[in-house]
Amino acid sequence: MIRELSKLINDHMNYPLWGILLFTEAHPHIIKALKDADYYSALNEITGDNLALFTTMLFVGEYEMPSPPPDVIALLVPVWKEPQQNKKVLPWFSIKDSRELPLLVVFGHEGGEFYYQKYPIKDDSPQDVFNSLKSVLSRVSEAVDRASDENGVYKQKIFEQAQWEMRKLEARQKVKDFFETVSMFRGAIGI
């Protein structure tokens, strides 16, 4: 998988930034959204020449019960077991394990420096997946357009503007989720 990703990045060197959508089989709505030709072409139109977007389906991890030493009665807690193949990709982006997925990671490199920004994808339905990807990709694409209009702008500067847009969008989503949760609790207790 690493060789394939490296080859794809080398084939798309003319893009200022790259994005990779990381998910597992446990995210069927993402799979459905990506297989839909209309969603796929719409995402391709949004990214255009500003962002090369790749998708990678990782292996599903699982909880495993550790085995106690012989002749010992133990109360054991299940431990998360990450597939070995995932351990080759997840550390690139400081992702602890596949329980953090699905994520869109926008990244780039310049002068031997590698930089990235993670963005969580909402995956309650294929429409939610598309809307989540559309909102973040359109902001990144617009940031790349704005930065590209300036003369002598480096990829690092383009990335910083895209990163700023992603962080604003994530903060806005957290605030929205907070108020939805508060509203739900207020309704439940009758206030």
Does residue 68 or residue 169 have the better pLDDT? Answer: 169
Residue numbers of the domain that contains 183: 2-61+89-189
Q: What tens digit of pLDDT does each residue of 3-49 get?
A: 666 666 666 667 788 889 999 999 999 999 989 899 888 988 998 88
**Distance separating alpha carbons of residues 160 and 130, to the nearest angstrom:** 24
> Does some domain include residue 78?
no
Give the pLDDT confidence of 121-158 residue by residue, as tens digits: 988 899 999 999 999 999 888 888 887 766 656 677 78
**136, part of any domain:** yes
- Containing H/E element for 156? helix 155-189
Query: What's the structural domain count of the chain?
Result: 1
Helix (H, G, I), strand (E, B) or coil at 146: helix
Q: Examine residue 168 and state whether it is found in any structural domain, yes or no.
A: yes
CA distance 173 to 122: 10
Q: Residue 76 falls within a domain, yes or no?
A: no
Q: Quick check: is 72 in a domain?
A: no
pLDDT at 117 over 80: yes
Q: What is the pTM of this model?
A: 0.79
Residue 70 covered by a domain: no
The verdict on residue 80 lying in a domain is: no
114 located within any domain: yes
pLDDT score at 154: 64
Q: What is the CATH number of the domain that holds 183?
A: 3.40.30
- Which 3 state secondary structure label does DSSP give 25? coil
